[in-house]
Amino acid sequence: MEFERDEGKALLCCARPRSDVVVEGDVDVEEGVTTHPVRDFTGTVAAIEDCATDTRRLTVDLDDDIAFNPGQYLQVSVPGTRVTRTYSMANPPSDRRRIELHVRRVRGGLATDGWIFKNLVIGDELRVSGPYGRFFFHEMRNEPVLLIAGGTGLAPIKSMVQHVLAGEAQQQMTLYQGARSVDMLYDVDFFRTLEEERPGRFRYRPCLSAQEVDGFETGLVTDVLDREMASCRDHVAYVCGPPPMVDAAIKTLMGKRLFPRDIYREDFFDESDKASGGLKSPLLKR
Ligand SMILES: Cc1cc2nc3c(=O)[nH]c(=O)nc-3n(C[C@H](O)[C@H](O)[C@H](O)COP(=O)(O)OP(=O)(O)OC[C@H]3O[C@@H](n4cnc5c(N)ncnc54)[C@H](O)[C@@H]3O)c2cc1C
C-alpha cells in the first residue's frame, strides 16, 4: 500500500534487486514450527483430472524431494512469460516427490484460461519454487479445529487433514466445505470415507449455497457454521478461499467469540483483486 512504501517497506518476495543488497529480516520464529528453505524444482505433469466444474486436479512429479508445512504453497512459472502464479499443495508433506494441486478456472486468467485449462498436457514440464506462506497447521495448538474451505481453498486444508490424521496429534477437526452446487464440490467421497474411518476425530460438512441436495448442508459455509455452533470459543480455525468468503467466515467466527489470534487465513486473491485494491496488506501477518 502507498503509505507502507512511504514508510520504506517493501514486499521482498516479489521485488527484483538491481544491485547487491543486504536484507535484514524481522522473522517471527514460532516454537515447534520448522521453517523449510525455498528451492527451485522442475516438475512433470503426471495426471490431469477434471474433478469438478471448472476445477482441475494436477498431479506433478518433482525432480527432488520437497519439505513443507501442510497449508503452504508453490509458485508456478507460466510458460512463455515472466509471470508466476501461486497454488497450494493439497498432498500431505509425507508425499515429498508427488504433489497435488487444485486449480479453479478464472475466465480471462493468464495461467488458468490461457494455459492450465487450454493446452497443458501430461508429460509437460513445470518450473516451480517453494514452499511459501505462513498459512500452515500449528501443531502445538491442541484446541478442536474448524476448517473452512471455499472452492479450491480446499487444497491446503486437505493437506492439513491428511497430515493430522496420519500423525500423533489428537486434535478433533470439523471441515466445512462450500460450493454453489454439487457439481462444483469435489473430493466429497474422500472426506466422507475419512469421517467414517475416524469417528470422533474428523467431521465433514459439505455445504451447497444454491442447491438443496440430500446428504449436503444447505447454505453458505457461514450459515451452516452459524446453525451448528452456538460458540466457537476455545477452538482454532483455518479459513481458505476467495477473499469475500474468507472475510465472511472471519466475521462469523469472531461473532462466535473466536479471537483473531485463533484464526488463520489464506486469501486466494488474483490480479483483479489486486487491481481493485480491496485487499488487506500482505505485510499484515494474518
Ligand atoms: C497464497 C495463494 C494461494 C493460492 N492457491 C490457489 C490454489 O491452490 N488453487 C487455485 O485455484 N488458486 C489459487 N490461488 C489463486 C491463483 O494464484 C491465481 O490467482 C488464479 O489461478 C488466477 O490466475 P490466472 O493467471 O488464471 O488469472 P489472472 O491473470 O490473475 O486474472 C484473474 C482475473 O483478473 C483479470 N485481470 C487480470 N489483470 C487485471 C488487471 N490489471 N485489472 C483488472 N482485472 C485483471 C483477468 O481478466 C481475470 O478475470 C492462490 C492465490 C494465493 C494468493
| Segment 187-202 mean pLDDT | 96
For residue 194, being part of any structural domain is answered with yes
Amino acid at 42: T
Number of domains in the chain: 2
Task: Give yes or no: residues 113 and 178 share one domain.
Answer: no
Contact yes or no for 254/239 (Cβ under 8 A):
no
**Each residue of 151-173: pLDDT tens digit?**
999 999 999 999 999 998 889 99
Task: Give yes or no: residues 172 and 220 share one domain.
Answer: yes
Question: In this predicted structure, what is the pLDDT of residue 285?
Answer: 44
Residues 6+ apart with CB under 8 A from 47: 57, 58, 59, 122
**Each residue of 234-286: pLDDT tens digit?**
999 999 999 999 999 999 999 999 999 999 999 999 888 888 765 554 444 44
Q: Which atom of ligand 1 is nearest to the CA of 275?
A: 42
Question: In this predicted structure, what is the pLDDT of residue 170?
Answer: 86
CA distance 239 to 64: 30
**Each residue of 114-144: pLDDT tens digit?**
999 999 999 999 999 999 999 999 998 999 9
Contact yes or no for 154/70 (Cβ under 8 A):
no
Bridge partners for 208 per DSSP? 179, 218
What DSSP element (H or E) covers 278?
none
CA distance 142 to 145: 8
Question: In this predicted structure, what is the pLDDT of residue 283?
Answer: 44
Mean pLDDT (the chain, rounded): 93
Pocket of ligand 1 (CB under 6 A): 73, 85-88, 102-104, 106-113, 133, 152, 155, 266, 268-272, 275
Task: Give yes or no: residues 151 and 269 share one domain.
Answer: yes
Task: Give yes or no: residues 49 and 89 share one domain.
Answer: yes
Angle at 220 between CA 75 and CA 259, to 5 degrees: 70
DSSP annotation of 50: E
For residue 30, being part of any structural domain is answered with no
For residue 263, being part of any structural domain is answered with yes
Question: Is 13 or 180 the better-scoring residue by pLDDT?
Answer: 180
- The rounded Å distance from CA 275 to ligand 1 centre is 11
| Segment 145-155 mean pLDDT | 98
**Does the structure show a pLDDT above 70 at 30?**
yes
Residue 73: alpha-carbon gap to chain centroid: 7
- The rounded Å distance from CA 144 to ligand 1 centre is 32
Question: In this predicted structure, what is the pLDDT of residue 280?
Answer: 56
Domain-ending residue, one of 108, 132, 156: 132
Amino acid at 73: Y
Question: In this predicted structure, what is the pLDDT of residue 281?
Answer: 47
Residues 6+ apart with CB under 8 A from 104: 54, 55, 112, 151, 152
Question: Is 282 or 179 the better-scoring residue by pLDDT?
Answer: 179
Q: Which atom of ligand 1 is nearest to the CA of 86?
A: 17
- The rounded Å distance from CA 200 to ligand 1 centre is 37
| Segment 13-25 mean pLDDT | 85
Contact yes or no for 193/204 (Cβ under 8 A):
no
* Residues comprising the chain, all counted: 286
Task: Show the domain range for 209.
Answer: 145-276
- Looking up cell 438443496 gives 212
For residue 26, being part of any structural domain is answered with no
Question: In this predicted structure, what is the pLDDT of residue 201?
Answer: 95
Task: Give yes or no: residues 268 and 202 share one domain.
Answer: yes
Of 80, 72, 78, 75, nearest to 135 by C-alpha is 72
- Looking up cell 462466535 gives 256
Task: Give yes or no: residues 149 and 177 share one domain.
Answer: yes
For residue 77, being part of any structural domain is answered with yes
Residues 6+ apart with CB under 8 A from 234: 143, 144
CA atoms within 13 A on the CB side of 196: 6
Question: In this predicted structure, what is the pLDDT of residue 99?
Answer: 98
Q: Which atom of ligand 1 is nearest to the CA of 270?
A: 19
| Segment 35-42 mean pLDDT | 96
Question: In this predicted structure, what is the pLDDT of residue 277?
Answer: 66
Q: Which atom of ligand 1 is nearest to the CA of 101?
A: 8
- CATH code: domain of residue 167: 3.40.50.80
For residue 9, being part of any structural domain is answered with no
**Each residue of 198-242: pLDDT tens digit?**
999 999 999 999 999 999 999 999 999 999 999 999 999 999 999
Of 222, 99, 196, nearest to 156 by C-alpha is 99
